[in-house]
Structure 1
Amino acid sequence: MNERAFRRAVRAAMLSLGLALAACNAAGPAEAPPLEGARIGGPFTLTDQNGRQVSDRDLAGKWRVMYFGYTFCPDVCPVDMANITAGLKAFEKTDPERAARVVPVFVTVDPQRDDPAALKQFVSNFHPRTIALTGDPQTIAAVGKAFAIYAARTDGATPGSYLMDHSRQVYLMDDQGRPIALVPADESGQAVADTLDKWVQ
């Protein structure tokens, strides 16, 4: 092989190597959010823990962790909310800019007892950006239906006492109110932080 042919062969080999490296380094298609396109959520207007009306439009530009529960819940709801708080605080430490766009939203499934005062006392134990929402029973039922939440009253051991049986899924909604993923608040604060880190943009 003469020198000219050798140089051509080297150039061809280098070109092939460059293309191969580019292919290896090229990012694959982005993973689609698990709830992308799901018919979950929608417009709402409710009352927050300070007695002010809050609508979905007021949350535009914010990523929302949507949790449905009630303040008289004896065990599950406080644990889930504590994990949401721990997860968001952990996310704030690693990426404060993205975390600042996340708002936990607690929607009661027990509007009969959860007035703004009860909500305010309850959420004071959790992340300071938490918004707690209540409304009349019909409106709360409609919002629950829009978010595919099951809730039903079960009588307690004493007259007049009751618990609320409700579904436990927690939704991450993007800054336009579209469903993105389920948040594993029933697992741990770290699991919540990992989910936020993966999806919040």
Structure 2
Amino acid sequence: MFNRTTAIVLIAALAAALGLWASQKYFGSVRHASLPQTEAVRLIEPRRTLPAFSLRQSDGTQLIPGELKGHWTLVFLGFTHCPDVCPTTLAQMSVAQKAWESIPEATRPRVLFVSVDPERDTPDKIGEYAHGFHKDTLAATADVPALESFAKSLSMVFAKVPAPDGAPADQYTLDHSASMVVLDPQGRMAGLLRPPFDPNVIAKDMAVLTEAAP
């Protein structure tokens, strides 16, 4: 049975998905005419400028909107204690990252893993975790209010699920969006990737988008 937190997350995720669907429907004729054709990436038009945000990267530096410019970026929310979705997704993305290594570093697509569990995930820990899948994966986190604001700007959600009765309090888990958001080289929300993920198709799409940039 779903607990109340899970239900809230699902309702919020559905609302976010409906918002993106409505945007795609409304601007569909423009999108097909003006944007590259992709298989896995669902592009949206117009692209959405993100509000200001500041996340802490694994190397201790701040990740701000300007840091994401110049590359197509795939953003994924998760946490290092995640039992299945997070490691599976990052493993799949490592396959895609290896496939696009031939793209010059100056424009090569990037993967950004954002931990929504700052209570347990320090910058060092998320860096070690993300780089265990691929050395180029960016990793960042922030305090919960900043993470909530960032996730909301991407139409993504997360929520803490308390530990079961009788279990230690730090054995909680988190419900979070399993999709990935695609940011364009200007740092704007430009598309969405929904599971299941095919890393080879994703790599092909990102190569097409990179070639067609901006």
Give the TM-score band, short-chain normalised.
0.7 to 0.9
Q: 1:7-65 CA distances to partner (integer Å, 9 max, x unpaired)? A: xxxxxxxxxxxxxxxxxxxxx95446721225474332111111111211122212211
Partner secondary structure for residue 44 of structure 2: coil
Q: Which runs of 5+ in 1 are unaligned?
A: 1-27
2:89 matched to 1:80?
yes
Equivalent residue for 2:15? Answer: none
1:92 is matched with 101
> Alpha carbons of 1:187 and 1:99: their partners in 2 closer, same or farther (altered >3 Å)?
farther
State the alpha-carbon separation in 2 of the partners of residues 78 and 99 from structure 1.
27
Name the structure 2 match of 1:194.
204
Aligned to 2:57: 48
CA-atom RMSD in angstroms: 2.3
Q: Kindly tell me: are residues 115 and 123 of structure 1, through their superposed partners in 2, closer, same or farther at Cα, counting changes over 3 Å?
A: same
Q: Which residue of 2 aligns with 1:177?
A: 187
Query: For 1:169 and 1:87, how far apart are their aligned partners in 2?
Result: 16
TM-score (norm 2): 0.72
Preserved CA contact (<8 Å) 2:48 2:190 = no
In structure 2, stretches of 5+ residues that fail to align are 1-31, 37-41
Equivalent of 1:121, from 125, 128, 137?
Answer: 128
Letter in 1 for 2:68: L
Note if 1:66 corresponds to 2:75: yes
CA distance in 2, matches of 1:40, 1:73: 30
Matches within 5 A, 1:93-108: 93=102, 96-97=103-104, 100-108=107-115
Q: CA deviation at 1:150?
A: 1.2
SS in 2 for 1:50: coil
8 Å CA contact 1:46, 1:53 repeated in 2: yes
Q: With the length of structure 1 as denominator, give the TM-score of the two structures.
A: 0.76
Match of 1:112 in 2: 119
CA distance in 1, matches of 2:195, 2:210: 16
What's 1:131 paired with? Answer: 138
* Structure number with bigger Rg: 1
